[in-house]
Structure 1
Amino acid sequence: MPRGDGAPRVVHLTEDEIAAERAPVLGRIARMLRPYRTKMVFVAVAVVVAAILTSIVPFLTKAVFDKALFPPGGEIRLHLLAWLVVGMCAIPVVTALIGIGQNWLTSTIGNSAMADLRGDLFAHLQKMELAFFTATKTGAIQSRLANDVAGVRTVLTDTATTILQNSVTVTAAFVSMLILSWQLTILTLILMPLFIFIQLQVGKRRQRLARRTQESLSEMTAITEEALSVSGILLSKVFNRADSEVERYRRANRDQTRLQVEQAMTGRAFFATVQTFFAVTPAIIYLVAGYMISGGASLTAGTLVAFTTLQARLQMPLLQLMRVTLDVQTSLALFRRLFEYLDLKPAITERPGAKVLEQADLRGEIEFRDVFFRYPEPRALSGTVRTDRFGDSGVRIERVEPAPEEGWALEGISLKVEPGQLAAIVGPSGSGKTTMTYLVPRFYDVNLGAVLIDGTDVRDLTMGSLAEAVGMVTQEPYLFHGSIRDNIAYAKPDATADEIEQAARDANIHDRILSFAEGYETITGERGYRLSGGEKQRLAIARVLLMDPRILILDEATSALDTETERLVQDALERATHNRTTIAIAHRLSTIHNADVIFGLEDGHLVEQGTHDELLELGGLYSRLYVEQFGAGQIEARFTDGVRFVDGATYCDKPGPDDRRADVAF
């Protein structure tokens, strides 16, 4: 796990940096929609046609009054009136049909773009190095994939169309109003510059609130993921912390509710003012028109009715434009959060021209050549715009810089494991044993020196071929919620049933699987909680046997198991290590005393290496650890092929076929 002594430093962003943060977002959203530009052209055409048709209706209304009902001659023209009414009825029908097609297109475009965004984000996260996930809450990642993407749904599905549709409608209505009466048009729009200015200010505030709301929602998701997982529930029950977990969630929930209310109420007074202005405008227009007519202006009844109709139709599109502009400003904060993840560059990448590690020719030699390694600091999101959370002093834009680097986790490690050897790494906790094994499959990259497989630096190998060459069984194997068959087949999805069952036999778990009512279709439960520790471990061994890697890493694979289960697991491991280069980490030294070579690690330094007997005779780290485990009280004995090892001494014995391990107390 990444460690560090220094604290991250908060640096306030300059105005130029803030502008740089904001500038690319709209362009990137446009690029997301580029694959759907043909459909968007059809949407645009539909919107323009519908807007033009809608704008014709007021002129038909004017003709009804001025040409049909009250013509200059005074006689009603019924034939013309009938045609005008047909036109006024046909236009809404046509625009409704256009609207149905337009809605289908916009829904298809928006949801497809959102699916692309989710897929790209998930694929990018799969490329991130292990250190990223050790520094980031799983719930926070889930929140961005679910909540943030859902938060931009409206922008991708409706907003672009709404902006275009209402913009065309407003433009057409504005032009029509100017044609009818430029004086009344000025009166209608006199306060629009003020409204636009206020709307921009409201949008900025809602954007900041949107980011804080999503951060709060992310925190709630993280709490849910931690507290309601099987492990979290078990922990809270063991330590009777259910009430405190509930209170922790309620606090986060209250913060979320407060922010949601604040975001919902921001701008309400502004929109109420705008709606009130548009509601009283017709009355003001009638009054002004009266004065204009009394002053000799030529305003007909049809013109006045058509103008007020246009003014009423102008109100809704303008309000929608203002609201959707606020929605866009709000969604920009969510897009930035998503783009923050997409902009993170994986620390572990494949070099151009990387070599494919041919599995058929792989010998399995592993070499550490003067390796120096320190854990990277948890990465703050590159270019992140962060805000104070729930502060009373307003919102502050800031960047988080990493803390100072710490000392070396591994320092000057040089060793070689020959093909087919069983190499063991021993040492106290925190000495760097697991860290060494993480460097072989490139979970991390060395800072200095090199890790080589068959003489080739692992950084010069393709990631796929390296993953195929190196298998790992960890102390706490991970099983996903699925069937036993699916969990084993994860290593080789195209494996046959016979291959899966053979791997289970070799892992000493086949008979146990068949004892379950549903056999290989038995559901393991989340993280395998329906199975015992030994069963999970043997399933993990079966999975790696099915993968059949040339190099195998065992990280405390038999710790915390009872004697009988450990015997089964140890037998499975002996099969797994056959004809493979194996690196084994073990605190229980009895499990690795027959290793071909044992490396002693302390404080990140390689302090000794040799066989079991050589290191006992040397009297160094290994000897000290051995005495600590077997020097007094409980003495653990191991039987192998009629030879019993007790406290470093060797005794000939003829145990029975099932008596391969015993605990002998003195």
Structure 2
Amino acid sequence: MPRPSDISREQRQRDREQAKQVSLRRIARLFAPHRYSLVVVVAVIVVSSVVGLASPFLLREVIDVALPQRDVRLLVWLVVGMVVVAAVTAALGVIQTWISTSVGQRVMHRLRTDVFAHLQRLSLGFFTRTRTGEVQSRITNDIGGMQSVVTSTATSIAANLTTVIASGVAMVVLSWQLSLVTLLVLPPAVLLSRRVARLRRTITAQRQRELADLNVTIEEGLSIDGVRLSRTLGTGDALVGRFTDSSLRLTDLELRSQLAGRWVMATMSIVFAAIPALIYLGAGLPWTASGLSIGTLVAFTTLQTGVFRPLSALLDVGVNVSASLALFARIFEYQDTVIEVSDPEHPVDLPDPRGDLRLEHVTFSYPGADRTALNDVSLDVPAGTTLALVGETGSGKSTLGALVARLHDPDAGRITIDGVDLRDLRLEDLARIVGVVSQETYLLHATVRENLRYAKPTATDAEIEAATRGAQIHEMIVDLPEGYDTVVGPRGHRFSGGERQRLAIARTLLRNPRVLVLDEATSALDTATERAVQEAFDALAAGRTTLTIAHRLSTVREADRIAVLDHGRIVESGTHESLVDEAGRYAQLSGV
């Protein structure tokens, strides 16, 4: 993989353009629900800044009046006033931090959940195009990188800006001539900070990409399947080398990110520190020192220090906000991804579906594919009947099953249940009506009981046991050390392929759908277990609509109807006996 210094000019330009497209107004909208809390925070900041400005004036009175005149009573009151000011500002600071941090964390929570919820609604095509580690990196690392900006930026700007303005006014009141000297450093400070911001924004985008690559390596290399692959192929050392190279590049980018513009900002700090010396010099010059007392000079330099500190903080906030635009751009890119399969605007209810399934001239192509996966497919599956789909690998069987479950929408034609287009049903309602058992079984890293209740959170133990008995898996579960409370392990690797398949079947049985899509559902089972599970399916299918996809033609002999797919088209249709008698494509596949 390329080093950060080798990143193409085109990629850097894309990063800059993407960050520019992030609207500050859109970022501000994240805080809109908390505007009243922010008003309170700003009010606290203003009060704290105004109260804090009393300290330099109290100090001037101490130096110019109380000490020279040895007025102990006045000195005591002035000192008490300084302590009270410090206590009040400290208390207001705690209140400000509490409210602002609470607001920031709620904004972060909302952003994380919104992105996660949006990703849940994206099509399968998005996830086949996107690396898993990349998605995880954006949700955790990118949003986590924005945390300090979201949590403290608004209040930091308000606090520091208020302090700068109030201190500036107080400085002018004390000596407008000396204030002019302070203003000399502002233009170069602003220009230099903008230059640093642009540099850090570019490096931030590169760093987040590299961090995503590192996450992908971790995801691929340390998953159960990844470890098994590296052990069997002997690629462990190569994988460690890949991780090491990525980590080194990330280290380099982190260092560059932290040091970006540091010399410039350090130079500005030196200039800010040198300004008080110029003030002392100015105080000694005849045209600026007229009527300037020692107390006024000390109070002015105190205020000046109070100006430079928040001014530096403001410039640094500007740099951080600019750099964070790269993070917001990556997050908003996901939020702006179009949802291809969504709930209808005016959904149709099917409270008691019969299960009549129809495909009417359905055509579908995967994005970027050079041929159609399904071409003008029409099928009629009456409620309570079984349709078996057979054909060679790549003929479109699983694609058709995915369309019935509305994992994709057809490019042309439509699919209906009881005469209602699937696109007119809520996705939640459709998931209740159509149940899917696929050839790839996914189990959560949780207990057996929790995996089953994932399909129906309100399921009772009796319902769970009935479902596992139907899937011929109950006896195996009760023989486990902890029975239904046994943890299945990552992706269910504690169990064999056939056991995982039967758990998935039990999960679907528990949901009790009206339409079943069985995509190679018994492919991982041995002959004896397959026969037992097929009997359970036969019992379940009574009165329900079942779409069975199978390579083993022995599992589809009893189907009410068999459709043969070839290159996305229906080439034959009928019963097992009639198709065998025709001696066509089905007969070739079955070897008779």
Distance 2:128 2:544 in 1: 30
**What aligned pairs does 1:298-377 form with structure 2 within 5 A after superposition?**
298-358=291-351, 360=352, 362-377=353-368
Given candidates 424, 435, 438, the residue that maps to 1:474 is: 438
The answer to whether the 8 A contact 1:25-1:336 is kept is no
Instruction: State the 1:11 CA deviation.
Output: 9.4
The answer to whether the 8 A contact 1:371-1:448 is kept is yes
1:536 equivalenced with 2:534 (yes/no): no
1:429 equivalenced with 2:393 (yes/no): yes
Matching residue of 1:464: 428
Given candidates 59, 62, 72, the residue that maps to 1:61 is: 59
Matching residue of 1:87: 81
Distance 1:495 1:64 in 2: 77
The answer to whether the 8 A contact 1:25-1:335 is kept is no
The answer to whether the 8 A contact 2:123-2:408 is kept is yes
Distance 1:498 1:513 in 2: 14
The answer to whether the 8 A contact 2:357-2:417 is kept is yes
Deviations 1:569-594 (A, max 9, x none): 33333333332211111111111122
Given candidates 120, 136, 141, the residue that maps to 1:147 is: 141
Deviations 1:512-533 (A, max 9, x none): 1111121111111111111111
Given candidates 517, 528, 535, the residue that maps to 1:553 is: 517
1:214 equivalenced with 2:214 (yes/no): no
Matching residue of 2:105: 111
Instruction: State the 1:548 CA deviation.
Output: 0.6
> Where in structure 1 do 4 or more consecutive aligned residues deviate above 6 Å?
10-15, 17-21
Distance 1:223 1:558 in 2: 33
Change (3 A) 1:571 1:292: farther
Instruction: State the 1:28 CA deviation.
Output: 2.0
- 1:56 corresponds to which letter in structure 2? A
Q: TM-score normalised to the size of structure 2?
A: 0.95
Given candidates 254, 259, 279, the residue that maps to 2:253 is: 259
Instruction: State the 1:227 CA deviation.
Output: 1.4
1:191 equivalenced with 2:189 (yes/no): no
Distance 1:154 1:435 in 2: 45
1:285 equivalenced with 2:279 (yes/no): yes
How many residues are paired up? Answer: 584
Identity value in percent: 43
Distance 1:244 1:113 in 2: 41
The answer to whether the 8 A contact 1:412-1:605 is kept is yes
Instruction: State the 1:351 CA deviation.
Output: 2.2
- 2:97 corresponds to which letter in structure 1? N
**What aligned pairs does 1:381-392 form with structure 2 within 5 A after superposition?**
none
Instruction: State the 1:448 CA deviation.
Output: 0.9
The answer to whether the 8 A contact 1:541-1:576 is kept is no
- TM-align CA RMSD: 2.1
1:26 equivalenced with 2:24 (yes/no): yes
Matching residue of 1:394: none
Matching residue of 1:387: none
- 2:547 corresponds to which letter in structure 1? I
Instruction: State the 1:296 CA deviation.
Output: 6.5
Show structure 1 runs of 5+ residues with no match: 1-9, 378-404, 628-647, 649-666
Instruction: State the 1:18 CA deviation.
Output: 7.6
The answer to whether the 8 A contact 2:282-2:289 is kept is no
**What aligned pairs does 1:227-246 form with structure 2 within 5 A after superposition?**
227-246=221-240
Change (3 A) 1:451 1:291: same
Matching residue of 1:617: 581
- 2:314 corresponds to which letter in structure 1? L
- SS in structure 2 of the partner of residue 292 of structure 1: coil
Matching residue of 1:384: none
1:442 equivalenced with 2:406 (yes/no): yes
The answer to whether the 8 A contact 2:19-2:325 is kept is no
Deviations 1:289-335 (A, max 9, x none): 21237x76221111111111112222211111111111111112211
Deviations 1:213-251 (A, max 9, x none): 112111211221121111111111121111111112112
Distance 1:582 1:495 in 2: 23
Distance 1:520 1:12 in 2: 52
- 2:89 corresponds to which letter in structure 1? T
- SS in structure 1 of the partner of residue 302 of structure 2: helix
- 1:317 corresponds to which letter in structure 2? P
The answer to whether the 8 A contact 2:470-2:533 is kept is no
Distance 1:12 1:164 in 2: 35
Matching residue of 1:276: 270
The answer to whether the 8 A contact 1:554-1:582 is kept is yes
Change (3 A) 1:543 1:201: same
Moved more, 521-530 or 331-340: 331-340
1:506 equivalenced with 2:470 (yes/no): yes
Instruction: State the 1:21 CA deviation.
Output: 6.4
Moved more, 221-230 or 295-304: 295-304
Change (3 A) 1:578 1:244: farther
Matching residue of 1:35: 33
- SS in structure 2 of the partner of residue 414 of structure 1: strand
The answer to whether the 8 A contact 1:537-1:569 is kept is no
- SS in structure 2 of the partner of residue 356 of structure 1: coil
Distance 2:239 2:152 in 1: 39
The answer to whether the 8 A contact 1:355-1:461 is kept is yes
- 2:330 corresponds to which letter in structure 1? R
Deviations 1:95-139 (A, max 9, x none): 111111111111111111111111111111121122211211121
